Structure 1
Amino acid sequence: MTSPSWHEAHWQRLQSRLAREALPHALLLCGPAGLGKRAFLRRFVRGLLCERPREGEACGQCRTCLLLDAGTHPDFVTISYGLRKDGVQRKEIVVEQIRELSARLAMASQFGGWQVVVIDPADAMNTAAANALLKTLEEPSPQTLLLLVADAPWRLPQTIRSRCQRIEFQLPRPAEAMAWLAAQDVTDPAAALQAAGGNPGLAQAWAEQGALARRQAVRKDLAALAAGRAEPMEVARRWLDAEPEQCLWFAAQAAVDEARARATGGATPLGSQLDAEALADWFAVANRTRDALRGPLRGDLLLLELLAGWH
């Protein structure tokens, strides 16, 4: 698949540094989910390790390319969520994983070239793991490249961020995003892009998943709550059974629409009785609730508290 146009500047910059043998030892690829950071990373790593690259692109046929395809390249390591002793997947990257990585990087490259490490999601490292990674970042081995991927880079300690060269993926211009969505045969790209807040990758995924219908359902639920035709617990259960984080994204959008209508003095689309300040507060709480759903707290209680505030 052709790479998105908003990747091109980052790609050319990295290829230029590679040609000058000035590639940094650590890169932080960050930005909202849906902009293709991981596809960009795979493309770059394949070209970096390929035995016969052409303009940075992997040949797809050499020994290195075949080993990468098989997931058995000895000089390519990926660190992600591991398993606990009871076989349950962890929700964070722990210090033992980073210590094992450091021990591995202390050994020479088996193919005599680059050793490449991907930590994804890097923002899932706990404090001990991040501290352990600092030594590797401060004393990198020759021809070792660390690639950290983060949708929420602000969760990383400043000490980690400051030791990586940042490659930040930002939302493309609307016309650029619309052209890309049209090329992907997305139905009603304008509505999908609006729902995804201008993020073309999310717009494509959500259009395929029927998320536009969910967006309308969320807005109907909020209108019913504002009019007293629905109970917060009933709505909370319905959102929890669907895609709660996505529902909260659409709910936060709805609060913004209500605030804009309130600012112009017109009727609010969903009939909310909250004033502008209360809508701003509710928007902030909705976003915090979306983050909190990834933690140990009960999702139904988190949603109930939020929706009671709208009601």
Structure 2
Amino acid sequence: MTEITYSTVAAAAESIEQEGHEPGVRSVRDKLGGGSHTTINPFLRKWKEARAARDESSIDIDPAVSDLWRAQVAKAMAQASRKAELRAKEAEDAFDELAKQMAETQAQLNASNASLATTQAQLLQHQGLLQANEREMDALKARTAATVAEADQRAERERAQAEAVRQELVRASLRLEQVPDLQAALDQSRQLLKASHDDVARAQLSEAVATSHADAQKQRANETAARESRLGQQLQRLQEAREKALEADRASQKEILRLSTMMSALDARCAVQGAEIDRLRDAQKDIGDSRDAAATLTSPQYD
């Protein structure tokens, strides 16, 4: 680039004028191959003033008119120069602002390209994660199905145990129903024993009153005594049977309590198993829904 001086600017302006064009800051700068507006403009203005003075000196006019003309020309040139400088400054500011905006736009474009590349990489990574999640959900679905099947089998076993306990309760209830019959037999034996005592008393009284009938009364007394002995033995057996029945009743009550407790525990376990089965089925359904959603996200319309 040529050094920017008055001589180089004047030479460039003369060359442009000889080519039939009016020299300007842009054309002079192009001719010199560079330079700023603020550097070229003062030299160019000085050259134009010198050219105007040179043109005026070649005309033979009245000095007063010449002075007035030069003053008017100088004033007009000064005004034009100020306007030109202002427009040049505005143009330079606009150019600088445009260059700044272009630089910012380029930076934003570069950032957008980098963000796009990052997003594409993340998308590929997410697709890989979705595929891995799909495989994991398939495995989880299989494990859940196996767990549900096992829970169903366990619940079936619990129901069978509960049914066995119910049947045992029925048998225990039947045994308990026999206890009132034993109690009735015991009461009847007691009544018979009391009747025997009454018969003995009446026999003894008859023996004391009627000696003539002593043999008959004695025989009757013996029969009554034998009957009383038999009734006593029967009463003893009934008492033993009653004790056994009471013992069986207490054992049955304990068994009923134990079976009731077991029944409650089994019912609770059945309820827990049912809730667990429902939860596993809901989880299985959620896995299926998640798998469908993942398949939708990886479909071509989301690429």
* Structure with the larger RCO, 1 or 2 (CA within 8 Å, 6+ apart): 2
What TM-score do you get using the length of structure 1 for normalisation? 0.19
Specify which structure has the higher proportion of helix. Answer: 2
If the length of structure 2 is used for normalisation, what is the TM-score?
A: 0.20
User: Which structure shows the higher strand fraction?
Assistant: 1
